[in-house]
């Protein structure tokens, strides 16, 4: 169709945005229900509903009328305000991508992903990679093909990386990971030769009811607005924002692992604060919510590690911890708690890794994904390569695929190229920390009093309020200048040299 005025076209864009938002909200509610409240045998009916609604939203994006609308708006780009222009840009990207994927491939991929999740879960529990391999093969093939649709100019894996962190390339990552390894590997060797930290008291029995009180307290310290941010329990912790003013985080309680719920709550709380911090002008538009996975992880890991695992923070929450768990904390002072939550130890499971070795887990996945996509690694060889890399990077033996290449749900969910954003997020965070110190001086003195307001206000001003308005590279550079992994390696070196008296 043609538009009679710019006003009319902008109104059509607004309607499209709001309609997409409504479906996002509804499908988020379905997913959140599935993970937190749904009775266990209800997947079939929910799958049916999701299949139909996914088809509807595909049609809403791929609708050829959107091509006319976009062409009209782009032809009048100079007359648009910045926010609308960016909306058009984001809309264009999604429209072109979906438009290039043939509808039958899109549907086939969604059916595959739906089946693969189920098969992966069973394969993981049976520690049987063979069961999952045919699905992973198809997922890799689809992703290689989709990469060509996303951006035929790019190398396929670069096109996939770009989906999760706009502008990120293998060239950047190869250099970044090399720098990281050059710091982490020798530092880890020194730590392993030093006197070990005792964290055994964190694995005593911590009643779930008391842990829930700790969660409430930690959310309060973090300044999470409970009128807009809910907490629930699920198998794996996550953050899901229905909209800027309605965010849900989840956690999982393990009686013998009190820090799991503690740090997953702080981590997801970081995602939630980012999502909730967007300016109102972006509400119900395609600029609502965080801009990329890398920036999102920079915020979640900022709160989790740079704040939550700082000495100041541990001193702030120590009295409450002691009050809730007097028996378990018998004879443990704040410094001992600080060292325990920072214990370094190469381990099998990424989500339980310490701050130092975490990036090594990511590097293993990066190497494997890169080679799966460029065809130099066959899916059937993934377990052997995984185990070899864990030995090489972390120095440990993988006993089985359940604790190895089947541990994460990302691949079964179709997310190839996602993992690197975790490591890049940590590095973004360290560089932000440096900048924050320049601006605010000794804000850790406030943190030590349990006051995170300066931290959150700074992040809000610099990052959160922009939602998805700025591209991630621009957003980062406007705050921190050029990205440099040195901030992260320096931070790790200083922290762990001091902590382990190296």
Give catalytic residue positions: 268
- Tell me the window of 38-46, 186-194, 445-453, 484-492 that interacts with a second copy (CB under 8 A): 38-46
d(CA 147, CA 320): 50
208-222 and 311-324 are packed helices; what angle lies between their axes, rounded to 10 degrees? Answer: 140
Q: Does 58 bind a second copy (CB under 8 A)?
A: no
CB of 261 to a second copy, least distance (A): 18
| CA-closest candidate to residue 380, choices 156, 121, 109, 136 | 136
Binding residue (CB under 8 A) for a second copy from 155, 232, 332, 334: 232
| 27 touches a second copy (CB under 8 A) | yes
Exactly one of 6, 14, 53, 454 binds a second copy (CB under 8 A); that residue is 53
Q: Quick check: 410 and 418 in contact, CB under 8 A?
A: yes
Q: How would DSSP label each residue in 19-34?
A: HHHHHHHHHHHHHHHH
Is the CB of residue 414 less than 8 Å from the CB of residue 145? Answer: no
Residue 321: phi, psi to the nearest 5? -60, -45
107 is an interface residue for a second copy by CB under 8 A: no
- Whether 159 and 147 have beta carbons less than 8 Å apart is answered as yes
* Residue 29 interacting with a second copy (CB under 8 A): yes
16 binds a second copy (CB under 8 A): no
Number of residues binding to a second copy, judged by CB under 8 A: 44
Closer to a second copy at the Cβ: 232 or 336?
Answer: 232
**Interface residues for a second copy in 237-276 (CB under 8 A)?**
242-246, 248
State yes or no: residue 45 binds a second copy (CB under 8 A). Answer: yes
Q: Which of 230, 395, 413, 450 binds a second copy (CB under 8 A)?
A: 230
Whether 249 and 272 have beta carbons less than 8 Å apart is answered as yes
The residue among 62 and 314 lying less far from a second copy, judged by its C-beta, is: 62
Q: State which residue, 19 or 434, has the beta carbon closest to a second copy.
A: 19
Q: What is the DSSP string of 291-302?
A: S-HHHHHHHHHI
Report if residue 235 touches a second copy, rule: CB under 8 A. no
CB of 116 to a second copy, least distance (A): 22
Nearest-angstrom CA–CA distance, 88 and 76: 11
- Helix boundaries (H) for 237-381: 258-276, 293-301, 311-324, 334-340, 358-374
Residues making contact with a second copy (CB under 8 A): 18-19, 21-23, 25-27, 29-30, 32-33, 36-42, 44-46, 48-53, 56, 225-230, 232, 242-246, 248, 283-284
């Amino acid at each position: 169709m043609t538009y009679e005025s710019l006003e009319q076209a902008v109104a059509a864009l607004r309607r499209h945005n709001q309609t997409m938002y409504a479906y996002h909200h509804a499908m988020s509610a379905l997913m959140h229900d599935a993970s937190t409240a749904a009775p266990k045998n209800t997947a079939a009916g929910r799958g049916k509903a999701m299949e139909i609604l996914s088809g509807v939203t595909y049609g809403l994006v791929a609708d050829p009328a959107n091509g006319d609308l976009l062409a009209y708006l782009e032809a009048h780009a100079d007359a648009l305000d910045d926010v609308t222009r960016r909306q058009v840009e984001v809309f264009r990207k999604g429209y072109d991508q979906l438009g290039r994927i043939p509808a039958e491939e899109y549907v086939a991929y969604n059916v595959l992903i739906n089946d693969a999740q189920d098969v992966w879960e069973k394969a993981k529990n049976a520690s049987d990679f063979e069961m999952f391999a045919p699905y992973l093969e198809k997922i890799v093939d689809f992703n290689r093909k989709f990469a060509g649709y996303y951006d035929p100019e790019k190398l396929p894996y670069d096109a996939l990386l770009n989906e999760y962190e706009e502008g990120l390339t293998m060239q950047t990552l190869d250099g970044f990971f090399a720098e990281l390894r050059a710091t982490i590997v020798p530092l880890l060797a020194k730590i392993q030769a030093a006197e070990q930290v005792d964290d055994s008291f964190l694995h005593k029995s911590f009643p779930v009811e008391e842990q829930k009180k700790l969660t409430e307290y930690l959310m309060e310290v973090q300044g999470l607005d409970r009128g807009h941010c809910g907490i629930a329990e699920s198998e794996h912790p996550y953050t899901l924002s229905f909209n800027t003013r309605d965010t849900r985080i989840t956690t999982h309680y393990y009686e013998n692992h009190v820090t799991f719920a503690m740090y997953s709550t702080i981590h997801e709380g970081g995602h939630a604060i980012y999502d909730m911090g967007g300016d109102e002008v972006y509400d119900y538009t395609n600029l609502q919510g965080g801009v990329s996975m890398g920036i999102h992880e920079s915020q979640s890991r900022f709160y989790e590690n740079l704040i939550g695992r700082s000495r100041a923070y541990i001193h702030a929450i120590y009295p409450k911890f002691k009050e809730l768990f007097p028996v378990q904390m018998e004879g443990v002072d704040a410094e001992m708690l600080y060292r325990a939550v920072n214990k370094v130890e190469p381990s099998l499971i990424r989500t339980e890794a310490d701050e130092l070795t975490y990036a090594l887990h990511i590097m293993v996945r990066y190497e494997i994904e890169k080679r799966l996509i460029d065809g130099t690694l066959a899916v059937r060889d993934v377990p052997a390569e995984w185990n070899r890399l864990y030995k090489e990077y972390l120095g440990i033996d993988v006993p089985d695929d359940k604790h190895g290449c089947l541990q994460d749900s990302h691949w079964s969910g179709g997310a190839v190229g996602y993992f690197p954003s975790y490591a890049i997020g940590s590095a973004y965070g360290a560089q932000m920390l440096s900048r924050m110190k320049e601006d605010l001086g000794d804000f850790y003195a406030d943190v030590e009093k349990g006051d995170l307001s300066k931290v959150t206000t700074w992040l809000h001003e610099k990052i959160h309020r922009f939602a998805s308005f700025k591209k991630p590279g621009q957003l980062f550079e406007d705050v921190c200048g050029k990205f440099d992994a040195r901030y992260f390696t320096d931070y790790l070196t200083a922290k762990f040299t001091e902590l382990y008296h190296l």
